[in-house]
Amino acid sequence: MDPEITDQDEPAGRGITRKNLLKAALIAAPLPLLIGGVPALARAQRSSGGPLAPTPFCHDGDAPTIDQTEGPYFKPNSPERSVLTGAGTPLVVSGYVFNRACQPLANVLLDFWQADTNGEYDNVGYTFRGHQFTNAQGAYKLTTVVPGLYPGRTRHLHMKVQAPNRGILTTQTYFPGEPRNNTDTIFDARLLMNVRNGNPGKEATFDFVLNIAGVPPTSQPPTSQPPTSEPPTNPPGGTWRAGTNYAAGATVSYGGQNYRCLQGHTAISGWEPPNVPALWQRI
């Protein structure tokens, strides 16, 4: 039986960045709140919980997501689909694709392939193979199952990522807390996803940074990305109010907790303090 996947809940230990603020604007779904008000970016943590070098940690001239081997099981011409069906523990992987200026990239091709729950690849058909494109906000979402283990490798997903008329990034992503992470010679902790328990199965997040230059945005990004859960229609009590212009250092209460503003902004529905740790730190 495969070892149980454990969640990675240690703080990343980083300050606010433009990427975090962009993600706060692009999504309204709750994010894990960590010490220091930083979202749980799994690639910023080792499997042991320690901090990593900032790759990919978005700032001007940032290093892109690293390449990894394609391996022997890639097949071209996968069907376009974001749901890969089959037996196993459900897994939903989501995230964004950015350029090195932290701008989300639309219409990026992501081609995924993986082993099934028994650690076997379908080399005849296209089971657990499929490609999709990021939406206008640079977001992707893959519904699949947790891949099984096979000799010599830890648990992982394969993908090719390509912006329109650009080169291809071939890489892999990994699960934190896997014993084989310590023995797999291909494993790289910079490619760890953030994994937590879902309902049902597991939920994972990972953001890709492509080696594409860009101009940092001068205005707030759009907020039309559908949240994975609706903001509450009857929010908990407190002093936080949508439409209020909060300066850095301002304090509010929300849902029985106190928060300090990390970045000046005008509050909108969906940016409630528990939802956007890039903007609010619980105190």
The DSSP secondary structure of the chain, one letter per residue, reads -PPPPPP--S-------HHHHHHHHH--S---B-TTS-B--GGGB-TTS-B---TT--STTPPPPPP----TT--SS--B-SB---SS-EEEEEEEEE-TTS-B-SS-EEEEE---TTS---SSS-TTEEEEE--TTSEEEEEEE-----TT--SEEEEEEE-TTSPEEEEEEE-TT-GGGGT-SS--GGGBPEEEE-SSSEEEE--EE-S---PPPSSPPP--SPPSSPPPSSPPPBS--TT-EEPTT-EEEETTEEEEESS-EE--TT--GGG-TTTEEE-
Domain boundary (209, 236, 264) is at 209
Boundaries of domain holding 251 = 245-282
Domain end residue (candidates: 162, 192, 209)? 209
Q: Are residues 165 and 254 in the same domain?
A: no
Q: Quote the number of domains for the chain.
A: 2
* 166 within a domain of the structure (yes/no): yes
pLDDT tens for the chain, 283 residues: list them: 454 554 443 333 344 555 665 655 555 434 333 323 333 333 333 333 333 333 344 554 457 999 999 999 999 999 999 999 999 999 999 999 999 988 999 999 999 999 999 999 999 999 999 999 999 999 999 999 999 999 999 999 999 999 998 999 999 999 999 999 999 999 999 999 999 999 889 999 999 999 998 765 544 444 434 434 444 444 577 899 888 888 878 999 998 889 988 766 677 666 788 876 656 788 9
Residue 12 inside a domain? The answer is no
Residues 55 and 117 grouped into a single domain: yes
Residue 153, in any domain of the structure: yes
Q: Looking at the structure, do residues 172 and 276 belong to the same domain, yes or no? A: no
Say what the pLDDT of residue 3 is: 46
User: Do residues 56 and 193 share a domain?
Assistant: yes
The residue type of 145 is V
In a domain, 234, yes or no: no
- Based on the domain organization, do 198 and 256 belong to the same domain? no
Fill in the amino acid letter for 75: K
Q: Are 137 and 221 in contact (CB under 8 A)?
A: yes
> Do 186 and 76 reside in the same domain of the chain?
yes
The pLDDT of residue 249 is 87
CATH number of the domain within which 151 lies:
2.60.130.10
Q: Tens of pLDDT along 164-194?
A: 989 999 999 999 999 999 999 999 999 999 9
Domain shared by 203 and 253, yes or no: no
136 and 272 belong to one structural domain: no
Judge if 135 and 184 occupy the same domain. yes
